[in-house]
Structure 1
Amino acid sequence: MLQYDNSAFYFFALSFITIYIVPSWITIISRVYKALFIKDEAIGAVSRTTAEKAKAEKLKKESKGLSTLFKSKGFVINFAITVILTILFVWLLVSVSSDGEVNTFDPFTILEIDTGSDDKTIKKAFRSLSLKYHPDKNPGDRAAEAKFMMVAKAYEALTDAEARENWEKYGNPDGKQSLAVSIGLPSFLLETGNRNLVLMVYLIFMVGIIPFSVYSYYSDSSKYGEKDVMYDTYSWYHYTLTEHTLVKWLPEVLAGSAEFRKHNVPKTAEDKEAVNQVMSLVKVQMPKPKYNHPVVVKGNVLMHAHLLRQSEQIKSEQMKDDLKYMLRLSTSLIDAMISVCQHQDSLQTAINCIEFGQYVTQGMWVKDTTLLQLPHFTEEEVSHCEKGKGAKAATISEYRSLPDDQKKGMATFSDEQKKDVAKYLQMLPDVSVESKVFVDDDEDDKVYEGDLCTIRVTLTRNNLDKGEKAGLVHAPRFPFPKQEAWWIILGTKQGKIVHIEKVGDPSRVVEHNIKFLAPAVGEYEFDLYVKSNAYLGLDQKSKVTLTTLDNSSLPEYKVHPDDAVLDDEPTLFEEMLNANIEQDSDDEDDSDDEDDDGKQSASDAIAPKSEADLKKEQLKKTRNQEDDDDDDDDEAEEVYAD
């Protein structure tokens, strides 16, 4: 007999809860360990110069310590659920330890009598309990109904000889059972007073919580495409990015991303006033907006405040947080812009997007000189470098190439600040680029029409020692750590993209292969761009020439006899196809024999015929011809008679 079993429910609930709380506690403990003991390098909190010190301190404050964990809503919700389930787990464990025996069929226990009681005691207990739990006296009470059935079964097991023998031997009055089954649900579910509560909880979970959770997960996940960028963002980029898009328009394009549409909505009068305050800082150098949507306007002025180094003048803390949120997503969104440009085959716009990423990382804008990347340098120090007597430097590369005693702009710097400049110039990437065109497994280094040719681009970081790896980008004004990478672009003279990819390998020497089919016969010249993802003024451009020869001049390719034999052999697919065709043909012949007994079978038609058979066929054809002639004569006489 199946019955609701509290002990079985305890074991089931313990097993089910364990599936959640064990991996959850492992995750929580690992996150707590990282928050307390994680190294500064792992979170990018490195201060190689004093200019990076403030950024490193902020990263430590945001990523280290227990207080940082509770800033995440997901962690707080998961922690609360795990604690509640752990308390429930402990309670169930205590319940199991005190009453952990799963119910078995014991007729004496069911009849509430001692084991081995005589027949009189058994009958008396049966009468008493059957009257107490009879369905007529307990209408609608499922618990009483189940108890009545168990009492009847227990009485039968003790009074019927065969049933008692089965129970004593196998533990069940019905005989040997292959499987012992019990309903692992608490018995209070059978109580009449709990019926409405159980039904309500069931409806809430099955009709409310579970469908809503599935809908929320599906609706959220269906909004995102590649690189965790929303599909609406890709649509916006396809609409706004053209082959004529300039760098100065890209902050507004970024501001219109779908990721910011809920976050950057000005909700109150204070929010609008804060937007106006930021706009007053940048409106002189910001181009006239093309789109007047409040979300785009707010994001546009915030990005310009960062690019023009006016973010410290923002008064509203909420506006600072909104800008930080935009910068956190900027890297993936700019990569999405570049992928859209690749899809549109707009080479110059893709280059502009890469340069926009450089500006965002360094907190600089289009009219700024690359010397502003130097630590502690302002417009005043830059003017000393570009003017005056002696050696001059207008770019960061020129400044690095000068001897230390001829570097200007540091007359008012302290010794520590001068060390920062020297340290920065030492870690600044110094990349040399080499390219080679070849065809795999070709010894003469000639490219023929239709060949799969390879352009191997070799990047060498001259500022690194052998075995040393490139570190994080020096970007004090970008609030997040960023790994050094390089964009490798191959384009045509007509402004079309042949290849574009970001290479993040931090090794000293990096090889990157560009493969494509050789075009028609002729001489071609491609533009090869190697552009930094974070530094300004270090990009390189070179020419790659390709001469494609006529493949008709190549010697005729002769197939080896063994290969020819293999080519003639049917493939497995062809063998299966031929087998199916033959089977279908046989089926059609059989059906023809059944439908028309007068038609020859395919086997008869193919088999050789004897001389007698041929004579019979010839005689039959002659008779048929004579009959046709007689019919024609009769028709002619009828026509003539008419």
Structure 2
Amino acid sequence: MLQYDNNAFYFVALSFITIYLVPSWIHILTRAQSVLFAKDEAIGAISRTSAEKQKAEELKKESKGLATLKRSKPFMINFWITIFFTIIFMWLAVSVSTDGEVNSFDPFHILQIDSASDAKAIKKAFRSLSLKYHPDKNPGDRAAEAKFMMVSKAYEALTDAESRENWEKFGNPDGKQSLEVSIGLPNFLLETGNRNLVLMVYLIIMVGVIPFCVWTYYSDSSKFGEKDVMYDTYSWYHHVLSEHTLIKALPECLAGAAEFRKRNVPKSASDKQAIGELMAAVKTQMQKPKYNHPVCVKGNVLMHAHLLRASEKISDTQLNEDLKYMLRRSTALIDAMISVCQHQDSLQTATNCIEFGQLMTQAMWVKDSSLLQLPHFTEEEVKHCSIGKGKATSILEYREVPDDQKKGMANFTAEQKEDVSKYLKMLPDISVESKVFVDDDEDDKVYEGDLCTIRVIITRNNLEKGEKAGLIHAPRFPYPKQEAWWIIMGTKEGKIVHIEKVGNPNRIFSHEIKFLAPRVGTYEFDLYIKSNAYVGLDQEQKVTLTTLDNSVLPEYKIHPDDAELDDEPTLFEEILNANIEQDDSDSDDSDDESDGPAIAEKSDAEMKKERLKKARQQTDDDSDSDDDAEEVYTDK
């Protein structure tokens, strides 16, 4: 008999809780170890120059220590759930250790009598308990009904000779069982007084909690598209970006992303006042806003405060946190802008978005000199570098100036001068080569319709052999960023042929652009190699492609072996041929003696053709008979 068993429930509950607890604790301990003992290089908290020290210290505070775990809401929710189930697990383990024997069928225990009781005592106990738990006296009580059935089974096991023998041999009055089974649920579920409570809990979990969790997960996940960017953001970018969008308009485009709409809503009068004061400081460098929504205004102002290096004027702590949140999401959102431009086939706007990402990383704006990327350089040092002998107006020119003639560092300390020297050594110095070819073609000529390949080879001349590119040097960007290059090819008309970000860190790496060769003629494409984070290092080349007429190519000749395949019979013809041979087997046997020499003289090919001819003739005869039948039917 199956019965609800508290002890069996303990084992079942322990098993299910363990399925959750083991991976959860592994995740918690792994995350805690990675946070408490993480290496600085792993979290990007490196300071190659003194200008990066403050950034490295802030990254350590954010990415290391218990405070980092406390700031993670999903981690803390999982942690407290794990603690709760761990306490339940310990209670169940104690319960199992004290009384962990799963119930077995014991008729004496069920009848509440001693194992030495005689038949009279057994009968008396059965009568007493059966009256007590009889369904007529306990209408609707499932627990009493189950108890009554167990009492009846126990009495039968002790009074019936066969049942008692089975119980004594196999532990069950019904004989040998392949498996001992109990219902792993607690007994209180059968108690009448708990019926409504059990039903309510069941309804809450099945109708409320589980559907709510599924709906929450689906509603959250359905908001995000590629690169974990929200679909509403893509819709916004499709609305605001066009082929005429300038760099000055991009901060406002970025500020309107759906990821910022809840966070950037002004929450108090002091918040609005702080935004107004900050706007007064950056308004002269802002393009006239096109959208006056509070979210766009706040995000636009914060972006300009970062780009103009005026973030130190943000006195409000919450505004600083909002700005850091926007900068954390900026890389993925700018990549989403570029993908929208690719969809719109707008080359100029795509390059503007890439350059906006460079300015965002270096905290610079459109009119700033690329020399501001140098450590400790301000407008004063830049101005000094652009005049007199040995002047340099760009960072590439400044790198070529001999060290003893470099300007702008007259008031620098020895450490600051060393920082500038280190920076110029780590600054990417690339050379670009391109080659046009067609795979498996020896003559390097491209014909109309060929699958054309343009291989772009980039060499980082500033790296030694075996050395790899590291993180971007960007002291004012609060998060680590890996060096990468955008490879773009477009037409003279401003259409995009190819655009992709390549993050290969090797000293020499290549990237292939594949497309079908256009019609006959000579074409000139623009090839752009643009950094994802540095200003002033971009390169541009012209790629010329001459497409020839494919009619001058030699005529393709079919190989003789392939030509013979055309003469091979189809599967249907082979089946008909087999049927014909079977039908003519008798006549063939009778004519073997007379036709033997003639058949022997025929080649295998001739025999095959004859069989094929017979099969086709049979097919034609069948079709003729069908036509005749149709005519007869029509006459009738």
- One fold, TM greater than 0.5? yes
State the Cα deviation string for residues 140-165 of structure 1 (Å, max 9, x = none). Answer: 43222221221111111111222222
Q: Which residue of 2 aligns with 1:219?
A: 219
Secondary structure at the residue paired with 2:487? strand
Match in the other structure for 1:524: 523
Distance in 2 separating the partners of 1:575 and 1:547:
47
- Matched to 2:441, the amino acid is D
Deviation at 1:567, TM superposition (A): 7.0
Distance apart, 1:193 and its partner CA = 2.3
- Note the 1:70-149 alignment, pairs <5 A: 70-149=70-149
Give the C-alpha shift of residue 12 in structure 1: 0.7
Q: CA deviation at 1:265?
A: 1.0
Q: Which secondary structure does the structure 2 equivalent of 1:556 belong to? A: coil
User: Structure 2: which 5+ runs fail to align?
Assistant: 576-617
Structure 2 counterpart SS, 1:543: strand
Q: Give the Å deviation of 1:262.
A: 1.0
Tell me: CA distance 1:348–1:100, structure 2 relative to 1, closer, same or farther (3 Å): same
CA distance 1:575–1:248, shift in 2 (3 Å): farther
Match of 1:289 in 2: 289
Q: 510-519 or 146-155, which moves further after superposition?
A: 146-155
Amino acid at match of 1:506: P
Q: Which residue of 1 aligns with 2:552?
A: 553
The match for 1:62 is: 62
Identity, in percent, stands at 76
Partner of 2:310: 310
SS at match of 1:289: coil
Root mean square deviation of aligned Cα:
2.3
Residues 568, 68 of structure 1: CA spacing in aligned structure 2 closer, same or farther, 3 A cutoff? farther
What one-letter code is carried by the residue in structure 1 that aligns with 2:272?
K
Quote the offset at 1:528 in angstroms: 0.3
CA–CA distance in structure 1, aligned partners of residues 44 and 336 of structure 2:
24
Who is 2:23 aligned against? 23
Secondary structure (helix, strand or coil) at the match of 2:263 reads coil
Identify if the C-alpha distance between structure 1 residues 603 and 311 changes in structure 2 by more than 3 Å, giving closer, same or farther: closer
In 2 relative to 1, CA 523–567 (structure 1 residues): closer, same or farther, beyond 3 Å?
Answer: farther
In structure 2, the partner of 1:368 is 368
TM-score by length of 2: 0.89
**After superposition, where does 1:495-514 map in structure 2 within 5 Å?**
495-514=494-513
Q: Distance in 1 between matches of 2:162 and 2:302?
A: 88
Residue of structure 2 in register with 1:334 after alignment: 334
Partner SS for 1:42 = coil
Distance (Å, rounded) in 2 between the aligned partners of 1:273 and 1:107? 82
Relative to structure 1, is the Cα distance of residues 409 and 95 closer, same or farther in structure 2, using a 3 angstrom cutoff?
Answer: same
Query: What's the counterpart of residue 622 of structure 2?
Result: 606
Match of 2:437 in 1: 438
Gaps of 5+ in 1: 580-601, 629-642
Q: CA, structure 1 residues 154+43, in 2 after alignment: closer, same or farther (shift >3 Å)?
A: same
Residue type of the alignment partner of 1:173: P
Aligned to 2:378: 378
Distance in 2 of aligned mates of 1:608 and 1:472: 82
Structure 1, residues 261-316: CA drift from partner, whole Å, max 9, x if none?
Answer: 11111122222222212212211211110001111111111101110111111011
Corresponding residue of 2:535: 536
Summarize the Cα distance change of 1:108–1:252 in structure 2 as closer, same or farther, 3 Å threshold.
Answer: same
Task: Pick closer, same or farther for the CA change 1:543–1:575 going to 2, 3 Å.
Answer: farther
Q: Residues of 2 paired with 1:520 and 1:550: CA distance?
A: 8
Letter in 2 for 1:48: R
In the alignment, the residues of structure 1 paired with residue 621 and residue 331 of structure 2 have an alpha-carbon distance, to the nearest angstrom, of 77
Aligned match of 2:608? none
Cα deviation code 1:199-223 (max 9, x no counterpart)? 2211211111110000000011111
* 1:177 is aligned to 2:193: no
Greater CA deviation, 499-508 or 197-206? 197-206
- TM-score, normalised by the number of residues in structure 1: 0.88
In structure 2, what is the equivalent of residue 598 of structure 1?
none
> In structure 1, what is the equivalent of residue 588 of structure 2?
none
Question: Secondary structure of the residue that 2:101 maps to in structure 1?
Answer: coil
Q: Distance in 1 between the 2:171 and 2:199 partners? A: 35
- Structure 1 CA distance, aligned partners of 2:47 and 2:567? 69
- Once residues 200 and 605 of structure 1 are traced to their aligned partners in structure 2, the CA distance between those partners, rounded to angstroms, is 79
Describe the shift of the 1:101–1:492 C-alpha distance in structure 2 as closer, same or farther (beyond 3 A): same
Q: Which residue in 2 is equivalent to 1:238?
A: 238
Residues 500-531 of structure 1 show CA distances to partners (whole Å, capped at 9, x for unaligned) of 00000000001101111111111010000000
Q: Which residue of 2 aligns with 1:168?
A: 168
User: Which amino acid letter does the alignment assign opposite residue 94 of structure 1?
Assistant: V
Q: Matched residues in 2 for 1:441 and 1:606: separation? A: 51
